[in-house]
């Protein structure tokens, strides 16, 4: 069995794994500083009394994270963890990356904050750098601080430009949890019982594993509901069926020719790494534009080279949106987000004053520039392209071995493993059983996220600096935990 990893990496940098492959926890030369904060018990009490009660903690015994270094996290005891969730798909080039840290420190010592009604160098330099990564006429950028802010602004842009109000999103999508974005998000888990979502409609989710018609996706590994017979001219035959359902929503729920926008993630993140059937998004964009709507690509989780083949997830669908929203990886954990659109759409935003106090501040822009430079220098996109298929094929072997693994999917280093009670019914695994798996991985030193409507999908979206040795270690830990779950 794989021993629990409880050592400080300075004392025992590589913990032996005694599983079938004899894999060890990869070494780490970073020595975490001693923890000197409040006690674990006192912290839990403060959290109970003084913090948002909806701020749930992961795992049965919450982690107290004290320090981070690249793909590693350290708790208050010095124990080391492989971070396969990247702070909810946010840490892109690595925790406390030295180049990014230096850029932030240097800028902080020079100009911490001013307002963008003055000119300062970094926002102009970064605006040029970030728009150079995008295709077509996507050349005007609005800087904000979070993905929810970005999607809020994109909604307003689309409504102002089209003069229409109605917006369509996909069921199972997640676009933020602000009062405005709750309407865009189509998962009941994230909704509150107050009036929200005026003019927002949700279309059927084109899910190749759980959707009505299955589907063949752009993935190294296909679901059990896919076959090559579904492919016609490089597209999946089920894509049109889901687009027909989208058109029903447009025809029955939207004033004729009065659609403002269609929002879609390139790969659904919180929804559980759901990929669409080949050709769906391209057909959907064409249909939306025929109804007068703008197409918005939510790249908050799938952007910045994470999918491997392309810098932006939407490029893998052979589309160019009218508006792109981005956050998370853009700042490697620093509060930074953006909306990029065309000059024509941006012109409508000049009808009144628009301002964001902190969006595009000097430190954020210095960090953003450094992240882009680091991605290029360290070839993080290439790492995703190489490691992604390797990791996914290892997960496919796991799926074929264990009866509780229903599907594995994703591109690059945006991967998901869906747990079920049995493969035939695809019934989501029960909450107690998935907690055993989740906790078990954490106890072996591997942190993954969870997603999907029932929280049944293990989400693996790590810092894009992980190595093949890290993947091998994570796979061995998965074998150990899943075998134990199946033996019960």
pLDDT tens per residue across span 223-250: 999 999 999 999 999 999 999 999 999 9
CA–CA distance, 137 with 98 (Å, rounded to integer): 34
pLDDT, tens only, 121-155: 999 999 999 999 999 999 999 999 999 999 999 99
- Whether 71 and 60 have beta carbons less than 8 Å apart is answered as no
- Whether 466 and 81 have beta carbons less than 8 Å apart is answered as no
CA–CA distance, 30 with 455 (Å, rounded to integer): 33
pLDDT, tens only, 175-192: 999 998 999 999 999 998
pLDDT class of 23 with cuts at 50, 70, 90? low
Question: For residue 339, is pLDDT > 50?
Answer: yes
User: Cα torsion at 477, 478, 483, 488 (round to 10°)?
Assistant: 100
Question: For residue 8, is pLDDT > 50?
Answer: no
For the beta sheet containing 294-298, the strands, ordered from the edge strand earlier in sequence to the opposite edge, are 140-144, 337-341, 323-326, 294-298, 259-265, 166-170, 200-203
**Mean pLDDT (whole number) for 115-120:** 89
The residue extents of the domains of the chain are 40-85+404-487, 100-378
pLDDT, tens only, 262-315: 999 999 999 999 999 999 999 999 999 999 999 999 999 999 999 999 999 999
**105: left (phi > 0), else alpha (psi -120 to 50), else beta?**
alpha
Question: For residue 115, is pLDDT > 90?
Answer: no
- pLDDT confidence of residue 13: 38
Across the chain, what does the average pLDDT equal? Answer: 93
**Mean pLDDT (whole number) for 359-380:** 98
Q: Which two tokens stand for residue 428?
A: 């989501």
pLDDT, tens only, 37-68: 999 999 999 999 999 888 778 898 999 999 99
pLDDT class of 16 with cuts at 50, 70, 90? very low
CA angle, residues 71, 76, 79, in degrees to nearest 5: 50
pLDDT, tens only, 383-431: 999 999 999 999 999 999 999 999 999 999 999 999 999 999 999 999 9
- Whether 287 and 447 have beta carbons less than 8 Å apart is answered as no
Q: Does domain 100-378 have CATH number 3.40.50.620?
A: no
Residue for token pair 């865009």: 184
- pLDDT confidence of residue 111: 96
Residue for token pair 């882009």: 372
- pLDDT confidence of residue 7: 32
CA–CA distance, 282 with 284 (Å, rounded to integer): 5
pLDDT class of 12 with cuts at 50, 70, 90? very low
Cα four-point dihedral sign 366, 367, 368, 373? positive
Q: Does domain 40-85+404-487 have CATH number 3.55.40.20?
A: no
Stated pTM of the model: 0.94
- pLDDT confidence of residue 58: 87
SS (H, E, C) the chain: CECCCCCECCCCCCCCECCCCCCCCCCCCCCCCCCCCCCHHHHHHHHHHHCCCCCCCCCCCCCCEEEEEECEEEECCCEEEEECCHHHHCCCCCECCHHHHHHHHHHHCCCCCCCCCCCCHHHHHHHHHHHCCCCCCCCEEEEECCHHHHHHHHHHHHHHHHCCCEEEEECCCCCCCCCCCCCCCCCHHHCCCCCCCCCEEEECCCCCCCCCCCCCECCCCCCCCCCHHHEECCEEHHHHHHHHHHHHHHHHHCCCCCEEEEEEECCECCCCCECCECCHHHHHHHHHHHCCCEEEEECCCCCCCCCCCCCCHHHHHCCCCCEEEECHHHHCCCCCEEEEECHHHHHHCCCCCCCCCCCCCHHHHHHHHHHHHHHHHHCHHHHHHHHHHHHHHHHHHHHHHCCCEEEEEEECCEEEEEEECCCCCCCECCHHHHHHHHHHHHHCCEECEEECCCCCEEEECCCCCCCHHHHHHHHHHHHHHHHHHHHC
Question: For residue 316, is pLDDT > 50?
Answer: yes
Question: For residue 75, is pLDDT > 90?
Answer: yes
């Amino acid at each position: 069995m794989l021993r629990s990893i409880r050592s400080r990496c300075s004392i025992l940098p590589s913990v032996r794994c005694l599983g079938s492959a004899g894999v060890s926890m990869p070494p780490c030369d970073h020595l975490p500083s001693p923890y000197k904060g409040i006690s674990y018990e006192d912290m839990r009490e403060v959290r109970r009394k003084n913090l948002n009660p909806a701020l749930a903690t992961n795992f049965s015994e919450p982690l107290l994270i004290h320090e981070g270094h690249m793909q590693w996290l350290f708790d208050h005891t010095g124990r080391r963890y492989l971070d396969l969730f990247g702070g909810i798909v946010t840490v892109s080039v690595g925790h406390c990356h030295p180049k990014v840290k230096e850029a932030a420190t240097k800028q902080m010592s020079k100009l911490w904050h001013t307002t963008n009604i003055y000119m300062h160098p970094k926002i102009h330099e970064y605006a040029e750098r970030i728009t150079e990564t995008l295709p077509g006429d996507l050349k005007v950028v609005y800087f904000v601080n979070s993905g929810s802010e970005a999607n809020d602004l994109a909604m307003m842009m689309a409504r102002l430009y089209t003069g229409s109000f109605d917006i369509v999103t996909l069921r199972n999508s997640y676009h933020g949890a602000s009062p405005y974005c709750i309407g865009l998000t189509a998962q009941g888990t994230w909704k509150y019982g107050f009036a929200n979502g005026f003019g927002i409609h949700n279309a059927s989710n084109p899910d190749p594993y759980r959707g009505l018609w299955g589907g063949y996706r752009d993935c190294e590994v296909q679901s059990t509901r896919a076959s090559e017979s579904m492919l016609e001219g490089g597209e999946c035959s089920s894509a049109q069926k889901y687009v027909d359902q989208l058109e029903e929503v447009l025809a029955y729920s939207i004033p004729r020719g009065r659609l403002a926008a269609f929002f879609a993630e390139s790969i659904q993140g919180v929804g559980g790494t759901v990929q669409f059937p080949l050709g769906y998004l391209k057909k959907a964009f064409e249909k939306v534009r025929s109804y007068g709507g703008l197409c918005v690509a939510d790249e908050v989780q799938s952007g910045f080279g994470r999918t491997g083949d392309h810098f932006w997830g939407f490029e893998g669908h052979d589309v160019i949106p009218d508006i792109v929203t981005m956050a998370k990886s853009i700042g490697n954990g620093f509060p930074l987000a953006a909306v990029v659109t065309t000059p024509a759409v941006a012109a409508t935003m000049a009808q009144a004053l628009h301002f964001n106090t902190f969006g595009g501040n000097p430190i954020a822009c210095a960090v953003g520039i450094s992240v882009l430079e680091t991605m290029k220098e360290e070839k993080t996109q290439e790492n995703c392209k190489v490691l992604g298929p390797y990791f996914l094929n290892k997960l496919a072997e796991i799926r074929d071995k264990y009866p509780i693994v229903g599907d594995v999917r994703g591109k690059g280093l945006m991967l998901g493993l869906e747990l079920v009670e049995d493969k035939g019914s695809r019934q989501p695994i029960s909450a107690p059983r998935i907690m055993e798996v989740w906790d078990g991985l954490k106890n072996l030193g591997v942190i993954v996220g969870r997603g999907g409507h029932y929280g049944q999908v293990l989400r693996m979206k790590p810092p894009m600096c992980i190595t093949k040795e890290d993947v091998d270690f994570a796979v061995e830990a998965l074998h150990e935990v899943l075998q134990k779950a199946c033996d019960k």
